[in-house]
Amino acid sequence: MTGCAKNEGWFQPLVPVPGVTPVGEAEMLHALNDPEAMIVDMRSMPEFLVATIPMAINIPFTEVALRMNELGCDKAAGGQWNCTKAKKLYAFCNGPVCPQSPIAIRAITRDGFPASKIFYYRGGMLDWMALGLTTQPGEF
């Protein structure tokens, strides 16, 4: 990976886990009207409260593996997650050099969330805002 001096980060892969579908702004806009989709801002709470994509909920990347019940999974016997009824997850963070949502995606797929139900918006808030798309303050 190549370091990005201005953003002090590393470019993240377009597909953080095999089976995850990368999406752009058009797919994110369609997800806003999809009743079976969840748009999850995986940034920390302070960033979320300033501005997020409309209809996004906040599950910080450090907590998402513990909160998979909010994504449609159930705890099965033995403490494993049963994600057969998992919702479509549209995950994002700050942008192409932000590791937060890729870290979370790796954690939840490791714990049983199906990669085929994850849609990764790598552009994140950086691209969303650069394109002048609507944002709103996050709700606590």
Could you read off the pLDDT of 11-50 as tens digits, one per residue? 899 999 999 999 999 999 999 999 999 999 999 999 999 9
Q: How many CB atoms lie within 10 A of CB 92?
A: 28
Is the CATH number of domain 23-130 3.40.50.300? no
Q: Is the pLDDT of residue 2 over 50?
A: no
What's the DSSP call for residue 15?
Answer: S
Q: Where are the domains of the chain?
A: 23-130
C-alpha–C-alpha distance, residues 106 and 133, integer Å: 28
Q: Is the pLDDT of residue 8 over 90?
A: no
Q: What is the pTM of this model?
A: 0.92
What digits encode the pLDDT tens for the residues 48-98?
A: 999 999 999 999 999 999 999 999 999 988 888 999 999 999 999 999 999
